[in-house]
Amino acid sequence: MSEQPVVSVRVEDRIAWVKFARPEKRNAMNPALNRQMMEVLDDLEYRDDVGVLVLGGEGNSWSAGMDLKEYFRETEAQGLRGVRKSQRESYGWFRRLRWFQKPTIAMVNGWCFGGGFGPLFACDLAICADEAQFGLSEINWGILPGGGVTKVVVDLLPMRDAMWLTLTGELIDGKQASAIRLVNESVPLERLEARTTEVAQLLLKKNPVALKFAKDAVRRVGVMTYDEAEDYLVRMQEAANFHDKTDGRKEGIRQFIDEKSYKPGLGSYDL
Closest approach of ligand ACO to the CB of residue 175, in Å: 19
Look at the alpha carbons of 239, 242, 243, 244 in this order and tell me if their dihedral is positive or negative.
Answer: positive
- The region of 65-73, 74-82, 199-207, 221-229 touching ligand ACO under the rule CB under 6 A is 65-73
Residues 6+ positions from 26 with CB-CB distance below 8 Å: 59, 60, 61, 63, 64, 111
Half-sphere exposure of 19 (CA within 13 A, CB side): 21
7, 15, 18, 28: which one binds ligand ACO (CB under 6 A): 28
| Residue 119 binding ligand ACO, by CB under 6 A | no
16, 17, 25, 55: which one binds ligand ACO (CB under 6 A): 25
Within 10 A of 253 (CB to CB), how many other CB atoms are there? 12
- Judged by beta carbon, residue 66 or residue 211, the one nearer ligand ACO is 66
- Judged by beta carbon, residue 67 or residue 89, the one nearer ligand ACO is 67
- Judged by beta carbon, residue 67 or residue 244, the one nearer ligand ACO is 67
| Residue 57 binding ligand ACO, by CB under 6 A | no
Closest approach of ligand ACO to the CB of residue 109, in Å: 13
Number of residues that bind ligand ACO (CB under 6 A): 15
Give the Cα separation of 198 and 187 in Å (integer): 13
Give the Cα separation of 31 and 24 in Å (integer): 16
State residue 11 phi and psi, 5-degree precision: -110, 125
| Residue 171 binding ligand ACO, by CB under 6 A | no
| Residue 69 binding ligand ACO, by CB under 6 A | yes
Closest approach of ligand ACO to the CB of residue 146, in Å: 6
114, 119, 148, 174: which one binds ligand ACO (CB under 6 A): 114
Q: Residues 93, 42, 10, 197: what is their CA dihedral angle, to the nearest 10 degrees?
A: 70
User: Which string of x and - marks every residue 74-113 that binds ligand ACO (by CB under 6 A)?
Assistant: -------------------------------------x-x
Give the Cα separation of 65 and 164 in Å (integer): 19
- Judged by beta carbon, residue 31 or residue 115, the one nearer ligand ACO is 115
| Residue 212 binding ligand ACO, by CB under 6 A | no
> Which residues are near ligand ACO by CB under 6 A?
25-26, 28, 64-69, 111, 113-115, 137-138
